[in-house]
Amino acid sequence: MKRIKLFLLILPLLGAAPLWAQQDVMISQYLFNGLLINPGYAGSHPYTSSSLLHRSQWNQFDGAPTTSVVALDGALRNNSMGVGVLMVHDQIGLTTQTDVAVNFAYRMRLGAGRLALGLKGGMANTRADLFAAELTDPGDPNYSENQQITQSARFGFGAYYHMQRFYCGVSIPTLTALGPYAETIEPHLLTTAGVVLKASDGVMLKPSFLLKAVQGAPAQLDLNLHALFQERIWLGAGWRSGDAVVSMMEIQVTPELRIGYAHDFTLSEIRNYSTGSNEILIGFDFGQGISAKRSPRYF
């Protein structure tokens, strides 16, 4: 109980800070939906792809971060263009932030694969419900107003190259922003790559990495290894430097429907008080081109 109270004491301080300058949210299952980290991913398949994801971080803490994501993208004009919509609702303590963004990608052939250049534009709405705080000093002037609400426009960029069994990309999901506290946002540079290798009959391996860099903080590296069994079940594990070890699974229920789950085993001191973080994903692919889909898709 004491550790929960301590966490709740920290959260009001976070709520009073400019959390509308929150940085990009942390999602472990970006491997199953590249639109989460790169606008160039939009339209990378000839069909329309949709997904719902929910993440609960730091189980057993009241007010701990939760994230919900709705993603939809598809190809246009004979796969030469792609468009996607991404909505992210992020909550921590007293503060909630909702981002809605449109992603547009122009795709061209390059060698044996395709290169996509993507742009992202959207709005972020952030609200701090300060009256929900349990204060030791009810007269604290920092909490004199019930809600602090602000909106900002955000823009990003990404490049994504993929072949049948290889992909790589570089992106800055939030390159610049306009609005209150926009100057406090630090762009994150993301670099990622992965390859699919045949291990044996019915078994494919996909090693991949994601490197995240931001000014004023140590770079963070994700290393992942997934195994695909009988073209239907993905089982994987990952390591996020200084943060967590991750286990992941995705099942291709039908050519259209897939479900996924991830669990983060925290490596920081929080592991003494929390069993980790959980993510659930449901994906559904549909529309023209679904009949020619590989089941499941590699990227």
3-state secondary structure of 292: helix
Element (DSSP H or E) covering residue 12: helix 2-16
Structural domain includes residue 299: no
Per residue in 262-278, pLDDT tens?
Answer: 999 988 777 777 778 99
Burial of 294 (0-12, 13-18, 19+ CB in 10 A): exposed
Per residue in 13-31, pLDDT tens?
Answer: 343 333 334 456 679 999 8
Contact status, residue 82 vs residue 72, Cβ threshold 8 Å: no
Q: Which long-range contacts (C-beta less than 8 Å, at least 24 apart) are formed by 96-102? A: 96/126, 96/127, 96/129, 97/19, 97/20, 97/22, 97/124, 97/125, 97/126, 97/127, 98/124, 98/125, 98/126, 99/123, 99/124, 99/125, 99/154, 101/154, 101/156
Structural domain includes residue 298: no
Q: Which pTM value belongs to this model?
A: 0.85
Q: Residue type at 211? A: L
Per residue in 197-230, pLDDT tens?
Answer: 999 999 999 999 999 999 888 999 999 999 999 9
Kindly state the average pLDDT of the residues 278-293: 84
Structural domain includes residue 201: yes
Structural domain includes residue 45: yes
Structural domain includes residue 145: yes
Structural domain including 183 reads 2-292
Distance (Å, rounded) from C-alpha 83 to C-alpha 102? 7
Domain count, the chain: 1
CATH of the domain at 180: 2.40.160.40
Asked if the model's pLDDT at residue 178 lies above 80, the reply is yes
